[in-house]
Amino acid sequence: MRVRDRGSILEVDDVPGLHWVLGLLFVGVGTLFLVGPLGLFTDAERLRWWLRVLIAGMGAITAVVGVWQIARAPRSRLTIDRTNAQLRLERTGLGGRKKYEWPLSESRPSI
């Protein structure tokens, strides 16, 4: 988290890098276990078919969890503009960019 004070503007940035690293780790390991029993592993044919399907299914679930982790951890920037009396929240992630704005006179912003 980084806080910057630029006179009348205060910015708070949050970049969840460790969440992204964890999500990429899940995606990588899950993908390996998804394609491994389907032919990437050299001795995959020794395994029974139901065990290969089970391992591939668990790998697919792990990869989906990794994508979910990355999608649920967007980069956020909170900007407080004292001259315009405005509060702005920008969130950038896999789903795109979303902007929310509120006047500072409101007691509680709702998302």
Q: Domains of the chain: which residue ranges? A: 1-16+75-111, 17-73
DSSP letter string, 34-90 = HHIIIIISTTGGGS-HHHHHHHHHHHHHHHHHHHHHHHT--EEEEEEETTTTEEEEE
Residue 43 pLDDT greater than 70, yes or no: yes
pTM of the model: 0.71
pLDDT digits (tens, 9 = 90+) for 61-101: 999 999 999 998 889 999 998 888 899 999 998 888 999 99
Residue 42 has pLDDT above 60, yes or no: yes
